[in-house]
Structure 1
Amino acid sequence: MTSNTAANMIDPSIFEYLQAHGAEEIEVGERLHQLTSALNRHISTCQGLLSRIHSTPSQKLSPLLQQVEETGIKPEIVAIGELARFTSNYPYYKYNHRFTRSVQNVVSTMLLTAWLGGLGTESRPGELGRLLTIEEVGEILQVPVNLKDRDAFHVTIEEYLLALTDVMEELSRLAMNSVTMGDVGLTVRISAFVKDLFAGFQLLNLRNDIVRKRIDGVKYHVKKVEDVIYDLSLRNLLPKAEGE
């Protein structure tokens, strides 16, 4: 008699609520999986094309960068737009962990393409060594950045910084391969850039453990490039400055 009375005290609506929201969670998860899978396919295409920079002299990069923009970055922008529209209907940081790595990869492909001279506009033509700001990344992707006033999809500062560490790793590899291709000038440009960027990192007051660890690891990429430059200097292969 007592057990029946206790059972009747439980409100059935509690389980109805849990069932309804549990079903919604599953639907949201499935849709997010579809959207991120499509985005990751475009990222893989873009990264695959960008991998060719390690066997392409900088003087011949223009056709490759055009292909990267058309078949890689433009589809990424469309996929990011679809993801942004869907996720903005839900609390951002509830599902952010499902797609933040993909967003970081998109940003890194954009940063690397722009640095190599791609993603130029009429107002700002592409040039070697250009670093896109986080605001410029947001403009190209047509999404907000570093949102503080509302809960919606955006590119975070952490995603931008992590993307920069990916770019530095790729450029340190390119510095060595450029020497192999006889493009020592590009190696020198990369050396100056990674040093400046690493110096900028040192000014940041980082509280995110993941970002701090990744940026601490950047020093090894800087050293790798410095070793290449040192070896070139010993062989007297560095390009002479004007008037020297």
Structure 2
Amino acid sequence: MAGNGSSDLIDPSIFEYLKAHGEEELEVGDKLHHITSALNRHISTCQGFLSRIHSTPSSKLLPLLKQVEEDGIKPEIESVGELAQFASNYPYYKYNNRWSRSIQNVVGTILLTGWLGGLGTESRPGELGRLLTIEEVGQLLKVPVNLKDRDAFHITIEEYILALTDITEELSRLAMNSVTLGDIDLTVRISSFIKDLFAGFQLLNLKNDIVRKRVDAVKYHVKKVEDVIYDLSLRNLIPKHEPSS
């Protein structure tokens, strides 16, 4: 029979270990929440600036893109740097779900800004229609991409692809608004780009269900813009490019 109800069968250190690690996880979670909250505020600011592209002709985009870079993307880069430094102290796949959507949004703002002609450098000036690679995005954010050799913060291929689907949706909206602004040439360029992008997606072997569904949805954005192009063609509003001699 048991004496005073205590037992020597369970080592008290087991619960001391669980308590200590539980408290550490709470502290890590609180710190990540603080960092990602600040990052999400910068993302919202950047997206707010970018929303103005829908009422700005492409010929007047440069000042807006400079503001996006200075007041939107630079603060994002600083927050991502803080996140990367802290998160790399802990197992990546244990916590990455806490910031993955935010990183996807950051990459989306960078890709959209780059496509519109922003984020140029001396060696490679910005140009309309330029799609930044995942490596270029990583260089801009000063973080590694698609890491396989160590457990640290990085940008994943899936985050990059999901960001591409985001900008496809945004560009399809811009294509229609550009017609209203009389910028038919931009609508045509967007149509060509998202069709090429969708064709590229078809070459990928997508195993993640979320990524596959988001990529499948791109065809609706393509169809939406194709309908706009068809309507413009019927009205003979598509710019005719003279063949080179």
TM-score relative to the length of structure 1: 0.98
Gaps of 5+ in 2: none
**1:209 aligns to 2:223 (yes or no):** no
Written as runs of structure 1 = structure 2, the 5 A alignment for 1:152-163 is 152-163=152-163
For 1:18, the equivalent position in structure 2 comes to 18
SS, match of residue 54 in structure 2: helix
For 2:142, the equivalent position in structure 1 comes to 142
Q: 1:190 to 1:3 in 2, by over 3 A?
A: farther
Amino acid at match of 1:185: D
For 2:188, the equivalent position in structure 1 comes to 188
Following superposition, the deviation at residue 6 of structure 1 comes to: 6.5
SS, match of residue 188 in structure 1: helix
For 2:126, the equivalent position in structure 1 comes to 126
For 1:235, the equivalent position in structure 2 comes to 235
Following superposition, the deviation at residue 242 of structure 1 comes to: 1.1
Following superposition, the deviation at residue 9 of structure 1 comes to: 1.5
SS, match of residue 228 in structure 1: helix
SS, match of residue 32 in structure 1: helix
Following superposition, the deviation at residue 241 of structure 1 comes to: 1.3
Aligned-residue Cα RMSD (Å) equals: 1.1
SS, match of residue 219 in structure 2: helix
Q: 1:194 to 1:3 in 2, by over 3 A?
A: farther
Gaps of 5+ in 1: none
Following superposition, the deviation at residue 120 of structure 1 comes to: 0.3
Amino acid at match of 2:209: D
SS, match of residue 197 in structure 2: helix
Following superposition, the deviation at residue 10 of structure 1 comes to: 1.1
**1:106 aligns to 2:106 (yes or no):** yes
For 2:171, the equivalent position in structure 1 comes to 171
Following superposition, the deviation at residue 4 of structure 1 comes to: 4.9
TM-score relative to the length of structure 2: 0.98
Following superposition, the deviation at residue 8 of structure 1 comes to: 2.3
**1:28 aligns to 2:28 (yes or no):** yes
Q: 1:3 to 1:108 in 2, by over 3 A?
A: farther
For 1:74, the equivalent position in structure 2 comes to 74
Cα deviation per residue 1:105-131 (whole Å; 9 max; x = unaligned)?
A: 000000000000000000000000000
Amino acid at match of 2:224: K
Following superposition, the deviation at residue 7 of structure 1 comes to: 2.0
For 1:44, the equivalent position in structure 2 comes to 44
Separation (CA, whole Å) in 1 of partners of 2:232 and 2:9: 81
Amino acid at match of 1:35: I
Separation (CA, whole Å) in 1 of partners of 2:203 and 2:241: 30
Cα deviation per residue 1:48-101 (whole Å; 9 max; x = unaligned)?
A: 000000000000000000000000000000000000000000000000000000
Separation (CA, whole Å) in 2 of partners of 1:95 and 1:176: 39
Separation (CA, whole Å) in 1 of partners of 2:36 and 2:145: 19
For 1:57, the equivalent position in structure 2 comes to 57
Amino acid at match of 2:157: I
